[in-house]
Structure 1
Amino acid sequence: MADLDCDVLIAGGGPTGVTLAILLARQGVRVRVAEKAAAIFPLPRAAHIDHEGLRILQAAGAADAVFATSRRVARYDFLNARRKVLMRFEGADRIGAGGWPSANMIHQPSVEAALRRSLSGQLLADLQQGWEVRSFVEDATGITTEIATAEGLRRVRSRYLVGADGARSPVRTAAGIAFEDLRFEEPWLVVDVLVDDASRLPSANLQICDPKRPTTCVLMGEGRHRWEFMILPGETPEQVLDDAFIEALLEPWDVKGAIRIERKAVYTFRARIADRWRKGRVLLAGDAAHQTPPFAGQGLCSGLRDASNLAWKLAAVLKAGAPESLLDSYQPERGPHLRATIDMAIMMGRMVCMTRPWSALVRDLTIALGRIMGKLPAGPPDYPAIATGAILAGSPGAGSYFPQPLSAEGTRLDDRLGQGPWLLSRQVLQTPDLNSFAEPLTRWLDHHGAEAVLVRPDRYVFGTGSPDYLREAWAASWGRLGANAAA
């Protein structure tokens, strides 16, 4: 349309918004990012990205740079007040289904810098800093957004507006979208430090389930560490932010002289989810759509999954002839996964946040009994597969996450096949280009009793069946397959 400034305007230049912009631009969509701040927030916030999040950053051209400054951790321990292990999750440093280590401790400003470098190389995308979305008006063919800039008010016209503008989201507020409160709200003190002597700090991520002061201690990106201390009833933000108060909290860790405080802040950990993620031409992503307590380390990961899910659907509607109704599958697909993420984080948070000694004792005894009986989980539970939406329901494997194996030479599958949907048949796996991936992918087909699989651009399985049937089913529902479909 001649009057459009871009196809998609994204409010918010954090990791979710910039990742979405890159993924859209790489699929031929013209996109603009409006970011209120003049520069990347320089202090740490998110501390963890999982294997699926790194795979999404791989698609956005930023994974190698992020991985280079991240750290791996093998264990996630829950300890009682006497520092004895209640529960232990091991193997977080192993390669996950996404083709990267399962747990990667990161420095968020470095992640954002890597993403912005990738964005700067996209001809169809641009980032405008110092732009604040004020209001918008939707009509039959597009949406006009009014933005405050240093030069005054300006209007940007686009087909869609995505609010990736954080927990206070002006876009969500202006759209009249409400939050569902999932009834978890706890104030915590967060202390981020620069590390001068790593040998004096824990090498595992820790949750200290001490009713006197529930505490989290985790690695971050290279050269950094984080403590989180639950704020107890009667304590004020001013009190807990005092240097002497923080020094007393850190004293039992014996790290004086090994660290320097980089940031101290009070956060209220909340669990909330927007009741609508799409309202006409307005969509929400990341913290604008949902907020999860940090105990499972899935806040940033959830935003990246939103970007990956939404990017291919917007591109399919704008460029591949898919019906606009495809966008209605966004929340039904992401919502159950997000609720499972929040449920797990709340469960972990409530386990950690017990401040009544008797309740904590019952918890400790219950977990000890579960360990004796061999009934404790080996790790966080798997997330549910997509059950409804843009999938070929009823076909084996539909809605599951498709793995990314590495070839013997160390090449990742996504780098070999590129963006877009893939149609992988047993015959195609014997070609020279894919022969080095044939063994793990054939095992996947065998496990599902399938002749072929069609994998969506966000690397979830559309469905299985014969190649012709899959090709026809995809085209009938979601548009053209594209050059990479048959690999």
Structure 2
Amino acid sequence: MKPLKTISTHVLIIGAGPTGLTLANLLGQADVDTLIIDRKPGTVTEPRAVSIDDESLRTMQAVGLDDAVLRDVVPGYGVHYFTRPGGRCFGKVEPTGKLYGFPKRNAFRQPLFEGTLKTGLERFANLKARFNHELLEFNQDNHGVRALIRDADGELMEVNATYLVACDGGRSPVRKQLGVEMVGSSFSSRWLVVDTDQDDDPFWQTRVYCDARRPVVEVPGPHRTRRFEFLLKPDETDEQVLSDTPLQALLHPFKGNTPASIVRKTVYTFHARVAERWQVGRVFLAGDAAHLTPPYAGQGMNSGVRDAHNLAWKLIGVLKGKMAETALLSYESERRDHAWALIRLALNLGVVMAPATILRARLISSAFAVIGLLPPLRDYFLQMRFKPKPRFTKGLVLTEGNAGKLSCGHMFPQPMLTNAQGQESLLDDSIGPGFALIQYGDHSRQRIDELQHGFWSHLEAKRILILPEPVKTMPSMPDCTVLHDRQGLLKEILGDSNTFLLLRPDRYIAAIFDKAGETKAAESLQSLFGIAQARNRTAESSIAPVFP
């Protein structure tokens, strides 16, 4: 009998969709030995997700792929709400802010996005991707995970990994083998999704037709693409609506007699559910394997990207001896509540987009008319302030500490900053992929270069002083980057707080403190990160990578 081929790695990722590919790029960038497999022959070829938000683009920036991704994006689009096709526009959402460095809503095509992420994997020698490879089964113990995998030729191999991350979709075989159930809302509805190309409509905002007789969503995309989504009635079968004549009849109000170039047509059932557990031992669930989100808020894929960034820096910290393994328990506690908040947002938007009755549709349009007369409410909706902001109240963040409008657990803004040479760049470009100590304000009152606790060196935190006012000569601080907030974004948010902030690699604020509170903050974070336990472990896993 032919001996079983064996591969060893630190992290085994199942599923090479947006979540798995993002996670793989983050791990590869940190020199963590990673194997990602997918049973498909390659990345997807058909359009699926169509919206990428500012937080996901910030993650793309973290792995150096933002410019490549943005080449295939329609940036900064909004939503216009209509009573019916050809009817009155009764409401608009057109966000213009770039709090995190990018437009809040952006149209994209998933095949192009996944292709960019897949190409990004090629930058890292410690990262291997294997398509046409299927996970058959796995088991785990206190030392690692052993997975049995079948390759494209039907040959079996064993992969020994320190951790396994399941990014294998809503029907996740890994989740099923773990015996983890999906729980939550029983909401579901069937929608016909039609993707087209060669589109000549110049309108670049999403149109939502809140027609109780047939709710429709129309989403523009890059490179003359467009998506149409039609809510199906209970008595309509998939076969009926996917056939040519009914399909052309549905598209006629939008395309007229111009034939549509259809690249994909399918019927989806949308759910709002979350896995009851996201971690079982050394196995983690992420993306659709952990949560299923209705598309009304455009947050399904984006939630998966957040999962990847949250889990990646913690796996990196544990594998490199910077944190104890117990820190990984914070993954579910931090991500679950925010994922649920976005599911609830999607359900609420679904009530607006797909009113159940004509009366409800009229009430919704009337409510928007009233909102338009009240500037505070109008701006609340216009700028998408109804979207739940990321905020952790538990996990690897301190529970106390404020700086202006920010608290521990908030994501830190990303302004465009100027260096001593007058060159402008986004904040994260100065930070790099790791931790950062930030001071904003008057450095004569307390200096970031005087922070002495060894914890900051342990984290290899980069020190950055951001000046709110222009100065003739930038102060010289060894081992500290000095920048100027010329556009004043932070002034409105942080005011005159002049405190220190520790940013995690995913740009959430882990701690806010002043010089007098440095020791207390550092020791509290050491406890959260399990630094004492981590120091008792070797920095590297005993499992050595061996790739054929």
Match of 1:313 in 2: 314
Instruction: Give the distance between the partners of 1:262 and 1:437, measured in 2 at CA.
Output: 48
Q: Does the residue aligned with 1:267 lie in a helix, a strand or coil? A: strand
**2:88 paired with 1:84:** yes
Q: Distance in 1 between matches of 2:427 and 2:363?
A: 47
Moved more, 76-85 or 34-43: 76-85
Which residue matches 2:124? Answer: 122
Structure 1 unaligned blocks of 5 or more: 482-487
Select between 351-360 and 105-114 the one with higher mean Cα deviation.
351-360
Provide the residue aligned with 1:137 in structure 2.
Answer: 139
Partner of 1:435: 482
- In structure 2, the residue matched to 1:344 is 345
Q: CA deviation at 1:411?
A: 1.6
CA separation in 2, counterparts of 1:112 and 1:314?
A: 23
The residue identity in structure 2 corresponding to 1:86 is F
Checking the alignment, whether the CA contact within 8 Å between 1:445 and 1:453 is kept in structure 2 is no
Where 1:343 maps in the other structure, the secondary structure is helix
| 1:77 alignment partner, SS class | strand
Which residue of structure 2 lines up, in the alignment, with residue 400 of structure 1? 410
Separation in structure 2 between the aligned mates of residue 85 and residue 387 of structure 1, nearest angstrom? 39
CA distance in 2, matches of 1:139, 1:104: 43
Contact 2:317/2:323, CA 8 A, preserved across alignment: yes
1:62 aligns with 2:65: yes
Task: Give the structure 1 partner of residue 104 of structure 2.
Answer: 102
Note closer, same or farther for the CA distance 1:366–1:412 as it changes in structure 2 (3 Å cut): closer
Partners of 1:214 and 1:355 within 8 A in 2: no
What is the 5 A alignment of 1:161-200? 161-199=164-202
Paired residues of 2:77 and 2:106 also in contact (CA < 8 A)? no
Q: 1:250-269 alignment to 2 at 5 Å?
A: 250-257=251-258, 259-269=260-270
1:233 aligns with 2:284: no
- Three-state SS of the structure 2 residue aligned to 1:198 is coil
Matches within 5 A, 1:236-251: 236-251=237-252
Shift of 1:154: 1.3
Aligned residue pairs, count: 475
Corresponding residue number in structure 2 for 1:383: 389
Separation (CA, whole Å) in 2 of partners of 1:313 and 1:122: 19
Please give the alpha-carbon distance, in whole angstroms, between the structure 1 residues aligned to 2:257 and 2:431. 50
| Mapped partners of 2:476, 2:201: distance in 1 | 48
1:167 touches 1:287 (CA, 8 Å); kept in 2? yes
Over 3 Å counting, the alpha-carbon distance change for 1:236 and 1:160 in structure 2 is same
Matched, 1:27 2:74: no
Mapped partners of 2:44, 2:334: distance in 1: 31
* 1:413 matched residue in structure 2: 427
Please tell me whether the aligned partners of residues 342 and 388 of structure 2 are also in contact (alpha carbons under 8 angstroms): no
In the TM superposition, residue 255 of structure 1 has moved relative to its aligned partner by: 4.9
Taking structure 2 as the reference length, what is the TM-score of the superposition?
Answer: 0.82
TM-score by length of 1: 0.92
Structure 1 residues 452, 213: closer, same or farther in 2, change over 3 A?
Answer: same
- Is residue 436 of structure 2 the alignment partner of residue 422 of structure 1? yes
Q: Tell me how far apart the structure 2 counterparts of residues 362 and 441 of structure 1 sit (CA, whole Å).
A: 38
Rounded to whole Å, the distance in 1 between the matches of 2:496 and 2:193 is 45
| Distance in 1 separating the partners of 2:61 and 2:265 | 32
Post-superposition Cα deviations, 1:413-470, rounded to whole Å, max 9, x if no partner, equal 2122211111123544155874334555863784382421000001100011136434
What is the letter of the counterpart of residue 77 of structure 1? H
SS in 1 for 2:495: helix
Higher mean displacement: 293-302 or 353-362? 353-362
Query: Distance in 2 between the 1:105 and 1:63 partners?
Result: 14
Distance change in 2, residues 1:403/1:340 (3 Å)? same
**Contact between 2:77 and 2:107, CA under 8 Å: does it hold in 1?**
no
Residue among 497, 502, 520 paired with 1:449: 497
CA contact (8 A) 2:31 2:124 kept: no
Following superposition, the deviation at residue 245 of structure 1 comes to 1.1
Q: Which residue of 1 aligns with 2:451?
A: none
Deviation of 1:226 (Å): 0.5
CA contact (8 A) 1:47 1:221 kept: no
Q: For residue 120 of structure 1, what is the amino acid of its counterpart? A: E
Q: Give, in angstroms, the shift of residue 327 of structure 1.
A: 1.1
- Name the SS of the counterpart of 1:57 in structure 2: helix
Tell me by how many angstroms 1:299 deviates: 1.0
Task: Tell me if 1:461 matches 2:512.
Answer: no
The residue number in structure 2 matching 1:53 is 56
Question: Aligned equivalents of 2:322 and 2:483: distance in 1?
Answer: 34
Shift of 1:140: 1.5
CA distance in 2 between partners of 1:264 and 1:31 (Å): 35
Q: Secondary structure at the match of 2:191?
A: strand
Answer yes or no: is the 8 Å Cα contact 2:272–2:294 preserved in 1.
yes
Separation in 1 of the partners of 2:146 and 2:334? Answer: 28
- Alpha carbons of structure 1 residues 256 and 461: separation in structure 2 relative to 1, 3 Å: farther
* Residue aligned with 1:6, SS: strand
* 2:113 alignment partner, SS class: helix
Q: Secondary structure at the match of 1:360?
A: helix
What residue number does 2:525 align with? 474
Comparing 113-122 and 461-470, the one that deviates more: 461-470
Deviation at 1:101, TM superposition (A): 1.5
2-structure distance, mates of 1:445, 1:54? 22
Which amino acid is the alignment partner of residue 97 of structure 1? L
State whether residues 198 and 258 of structure 1, in contact with CA within 8 Å, keep that contact through their aligned partners in structure 2.
Answer: no
- 1:347 offset after TM fit, Å? 0.6
1:14 corresponds to 2:17? yes
Separation of aligned partners in 2, 1:195 and 1:350? 32
Structure 2 counterpart SS, 1:407:
strand
Based on CA coordinates, which of the two structures has the bigger radius of gyration?
A: 2
- Per the alignment, in what secondary structure is the counterpart of residue 342 of structure 1? helix
AA aligned to 1:422 is: A
CA distance in 2, matches of 1:213, 1:27: 49
Structure 2 CA distance for aligned equivalents of residues 289 and 26 of structure 1: 24
Tell me which moved more, 322-331 or 440-449.
Answer: 440-449
State the AA in 2 paired with 1:244: T
Residue 331 (structure 1) aligns with: 332
User: Is the 1:60–1:115 contact (alpha carbons within 8 Å) kept by the matching residues of 2?
Assistant: no
Q: Does 1:44 align with 2:95?
A: no
5+ residue gaps in structure 2? 1-5, 448-463, 466-474, 535-548
* Maintained 8 Å contact 1:341/1:383: no
